[in-house]
Amino acid sequence: MKNLFFTTLLTLFLGFTAQAQIPPKTNFLTGYFSYSNFNSGDQSQDSNRESLGIGIGYGRFLSENSALGIQASYSWNTLNTFYLAIAERQYKSFGDKFYGFIEFYAGASRIEDIGNQIFLGARPGISYFLNEKWAIEANLGGINVGRQFNNDGPNSNNFSIGLLNELDFSLAYYF
């Protein structure tokens, strides 16, 4: 099952490396709203968490199908969390206004009263251009691995996978 999953992920990645029509050296700014739902599988109250977040990002196209950027966000539920990450996107055009992408990211977070976390992952997304400069975007779930360094108690490793466990909606300005 793992081999099938990773083969599918690799096929998606290779399929998304086809050329898009966004010129190199194009910059973009994003502002986004996120929703996430985490369930560790046990029945305790702490294992089921929902959170809302806001964030900003900046990126620059290195080639017609590849962009590199940085993201910062803040989310809140019962715990406040600040995230900072670098990300690389591979785009594929599905027409003049519609693009799909896979975003690969690595970063760190500070979780209030718990500790710090480092993470990396990949997630799919879509962009729809309203005009030459403005696009609406959505990221859907993904794969995430990380290491949490707890203030009290033992450190832990984290792994999550899901398509709808995290949703980000953003407005992007391309220049």
Separation CA 60–CA 145 (nearest Å): 25
Listed in sequence order, the DSSP H helices in 16-157 are none
pTM (2 d.p.) = 0.78
* b/e per residue 11-46 (b: at least 16 CB within 10 A): eeeeebeeebebeeeeebebebebebeeeeeeeeee
Whole-number pLDDT of residue 118 = 96
- The domain locations on the chain are 1-37+68-124+137-163
Whole-number pLDDT of residue 165 = 76
| pLDDT by 10s per residue, the chain, length 175 | 555 454 444 444 444 444 447 899 999 999 999 988 766 555 555 556 788 999 999 999 999 999 999 999 999 887 799 999 999 999 999 988 999 999 999 999 998 888 999 999 999 999 999 999 999 999 988 999 999 999 988 998 988 887 777 889 999 999 9
Pick from 76, 57, 82: nearest CA to 173? 57
The answer to whether residues 173 and 134 touch, using CB atoms and an 8 Å cutoff, is yes
Angstrom CA distances, 144 to 69, 77, 96, 152, stand at 18, 20, 31, 23
Whole-number pLDDT of residue 4 = 47
The answer to whether residues 117 and 144 touch, using CB atoms and an 8 Å cutoff, is no
